[in-house]
Structure 1
């Protein structure tokens, strides 16, 4: 069963988010992860939506996060599936594909016609799942520039 995350789901979502971050070698901390989840809860129309997948017996087993963006080069909205995670015990069960399909359905409900996502080049297991979808591999490379956090006394230009 896959549902949109609500406030009551955060206790089940948080351990999965931690595992996902650990998989990619990061550990942003529970407060930061909950702030992200609550940002989606506060404004799912402008920010994004998280989905929670549960096994047949109701155990949390995976999640996905979709952010709503625009593509300037195509002048249309896109859905960015920024996160997709299935717990090791549920891998190979079809849950990952079900989460992808649920993300695509949510995007289509909004009138968004493109769902995009990325994965690490060495995440071959995920790539096998992705290659079995109608999605095509992109030719784009991703660059990441880690900017320094603003000091608490610095205010953005108004």
Structure 2
């Protein structure tokens, strides 16, 4: 039995190690206080986005997803951006990632967002197998970044 809920203040202690593991996977090290501030900002204003937290039957945290809400001119519609998806290694292949995406899709529908969009690292074959397996379409867009 897997439960997926929107993270609240009471979930921050369980969510923090998941965020850190996700950052470790991508070999980045943002300060813990900034990660905490991001989580608290989303809790305070879910119109910006939400974090979903997945727990197994024993209540142990096994994954999370972060979805930000925005508009996409090319679709002329609201979209949900699945910015983060992380499943603890011990739970991979058990449907946790699929369940988090499904809940994200449900939330998009509830908010009137026409699509859930996301990106992954080109070398993250495990994630790509999941995305291909649920019928997600690969985008032709390249991602660029510019610091401020």
State the SS of the aligned residue for 2:80: strand
Q: How far 1:73 sits from its partner (Å)? A: 2.0
Q: Aligned partners of 2:5, 2:138: CA distance in 1, in Å?
A: 27
- Quote the residue 1:82 is aligned against: 83
- Quote the residue 1:109 is aligned against: 110
Q: How far 1:83 sits from its partner (Å)? A: 0.3
CA offset digits 1:86-112 (Å, max 9, x no partner): 011111111011000010001111111
State the SS of the aligned residue for 2:114: coil
Say whether 1:48 aligns with 2:49: yes
Superposition TM-score, scaled by structure 1 size: 0.90
Q: How far 1:50 sits from its partner (Å)? A: 0.4
Q: How far 1:133 sits from its partner (Å)? A: 1.4
Superposition TM-score, scaled by structure 2 size: 0.96
CA offset digits 1:96-136 (Å, max 9, x no partner): 11000010001111111110000000000000000011321
Q: Aligned partners of 1:43, 1:7: CA distance in 2, in Å?
A: 13
Say whether 1:36 aligns with 2:62: no
Q: Aligned partners of 1:91, 1:116: CA distance in 2, in Å?
A: 21
- Quote the residue 1:15 is aligned against: 17
Q: How far 1:64 sits from its partner (Å)? A: 0.1
* Runs of 4+ with >3 A deviation: none
- What 5-or-longer segments of structure 1 have no aligned partner? 148-158
Higher radius of gyration, 1 or 2: 1
